[in-house]
Structure 1
C-alpha cells in the first residue's frame, strides 16, 4: 500500500479525484483501485460509470505514478497533460455502481522533455479495458503555461 493519500498525489481536487488509492508502484509501473460510486461526477442516472471514463481513470493512475515519483524525490506534484490515447478497447459499455476496478499502468517510454507513453489496463469482475496513453509533463510547467498560444 502507498503511504501517501491519493489526494496528495494528484493535481485534482474534490469530486474530480476518481481513484480511491494507490495499491503499489515502482520505477516503471503503478497499480491503483477504486469502487464505482453511484453518485460520482460522471455517473449515469442508474449509478453506472460509462466505459469511456476508463481513459480518465487510466490518466489519473499515470498522474498518481508521477506524483509518487515526485514525492520520492522530495518534489511537489506537478500538473501533466493527457495528449491522447491509442487502441482503447473495452468489453463492456459501463461499470456498475459498487464495482471494484483496478488499473495498471506501465511506462513504456519517457523522455527528458516530459513526453511519455503508458500501456494501461483496467480490470474488474468480467471487465477488461486496455489503452495506450500519451502524456506530457513539461519540466517547467509554470513557464509552459505562460507561453503564448500560436494561431
Structure 2
C-alpha cells in the first residue's frame, strides 16, 4: 500500500514531526518508522531519551487519525495527548543509528472523541517491545470551540 507523506497525516510542522514515515495502516492499527540520528530533535550524544517514546506513540496515533480522516475524504484535525498508563522502556535511550517501528492499535474510541491505544516501540534488528504503554487521547469535533470554552461537542 502506498502511504501518504507523514506531514499530511500529523498536524505538526517542521522539526516537530518526529516520525519519518508510515509503513502500514488499517482501520484499527498503524505502524510508523523513525530513524535516530545526530540531527534528530532531542538527540544527545547517546541518542534520544526513551522518554521521547511517548511522543513517538502520540504522533503515530495522530497519524492513524489523519490516515482515517483522509480515507473518509475529511481534513486532518488536531487531537490531544491526555496521558499514558504504565509507560515502560527497556533502556534509558534509543541509540544513534537505531530504526524504530512504532505500533499503535486502537482499543477504544467513544463518540465524544476519547480514545485509548495500546502502543509499542520495536527496534529494527534489535529487541521488540523496547517501550510500551497504553495511551489515551482526545480529538474534539471542533478544536477551536474546545480551546475557547472547553465544550467537546
TM-score class, shorter: over 0.9
Unaligned runs of 5+ in 2: none
CA deviation profile, 1:45-70 (whole Å, cap 9, x unmatched) = x1500000000000000000000000
Partner of 1:102: 101
Pairwise CA distance, 1:2: 4.1
Q: Aligned-pair RMSD on alpha carbons?
A: 1.5
Structure 1 contact 36–96 (Cα < 8 Å) conserved: yes
Moved over 6 A (4+): none
Q: TM-score, normalised by structure 1?
A: 0.93
Unaligned runs of 5+ in 1: none
Pairwise CA distance, 1:3: 2.6
Pairwise CA distance, 1:146: 1.6
Q: TM-score, normalised by structure 2?
A: 0.92
Structure 1 contact 34–102 (Cα < 8 Å) conserved: yes
- State whether structure 2 residue 104 is matched by structure 1 residue 89: no
Partner of 1:140: 142
Structure 1 contact 39–47 (Cα < 8 Å) conserved: no
Structure 1 contact 38–47 (Cα < 8 Å) conserved: no
Count how many residue pairs are aligned between Structure 1 and Structure 2: 148
Partner of 1:14: 14
